Amino acid sequence: MSAIYDLASGMIRRVYEKRLDAPAILDCAADFPNAAKFTAAWQGIRDEALAVRPGKAPRFHDIMAEQAGISANDGLDWRMFVLKAYDIGVPENLARMPVLSRLLAACPEVKSAAISFLAPRKHIPSHRGPFRGIMRFHLGLVMPRQADGRPATIMTINHQEKRITDGEGMLWDDTFPHEVVNNADEARIALLLDVWRPGMPLDMEILSRLIVRGVQAGMRHRGVSFSG
């Protein structure tokens, strides 16, 4: 199943690379202006995230078995508290995070939203997303620091080292190679959003909508559960 997923991902990615020229790190102000709303509310979102029991949230590969290679690779947890997945809301999870839920309701360009709990010393090996029709937004909620004061979680995106701190956001294209390592002895907590890419050519817009519908149908068919 993983091999089929990798093959399909590679084919989709090549189609988008030919039609959409984009850098790895994107401009929030131009491509996702509503990022400012999430950043302004980061403390309220953080407080709601801290009330979630990470051990009750599923591991990423429990939700998507094909992601076992990056989620279950080292025996350390990468857990996701999903509020919305490709426009399919998770009512019980949305109810537990009203501040974030209100923002999501006001920002329909956000297709997926989850709180990511990255275990201490967890390493997510290099990988690539398949789908340039969406962009990835990270917002730091609890970002442990190392001895020199810098954030201890390192994201390497297209060979560029990036670190964000509490309340800081970053918009990027996950079809570029990327990996993450949490060098702290504490969990890293971040908000992850998948955001619809604006200004796509019409054919890419249509293809993107078809892909989203296909993912939705696949989740319903498999009975994907977002509870632990």
Alpha helices (runs of H) in 97-183, residue ranges in sequence order? 98-106
Q: How far apart are CA 115 and CA 193, in angstroms?
A: 9
- Torsions phi, psi for 111 (to 5 deg): -90, -30
Which pLDDT belongs to residue 130? 81
Model confidence pLDDT, tens digit, residues 137-158: 999 999 999 999 999 999 999 9
Model confidence pLDDT, tens digit, residues 105-147: 999 999 999 999 999 999 999 999 888 999 999 999 999 999 9
Q: Counting beta carbons within 10 angstroms of the beta carbon of residue 111, is it exposed (0 to 12), middle (13 to 18) or buried (19 or more)?
A: buried
Which pLDDT belongs to residue 166? 98
Which pLDDT belongs to residue 6? 62
Model confidence pLDDT, tens digit, residues 46-61: 999 999 988 888 888 8
- Residue 159: strand, helix, or coil: coil
DSSP 87: T
Model confidence pLDDT, tens digit, residues 181-228: 999 999 999 999 999 999 999 999 999 999 889 888 888 877 777 765
Domains of the chain and any CATH numbers:
2-222 (2.60.120.330)
Neighbours of 162 (CB within 10 A): 18
**CA distances (Å), 25 to each of 45, 53, 86, 173, in order?**
24, 32, 22, 6
Which pLDDT belongs to residue 227? 67
Mean pLDDT of the chain: 91
Q: Decide if pLDDT at 68 tops 90.
A: no
Model confidence pLDDT, tens digit, residues 152-187: 999 999 999 999 999 999 999 999 999 999 999 999
Which pLDDT belongs to residue 47? 97
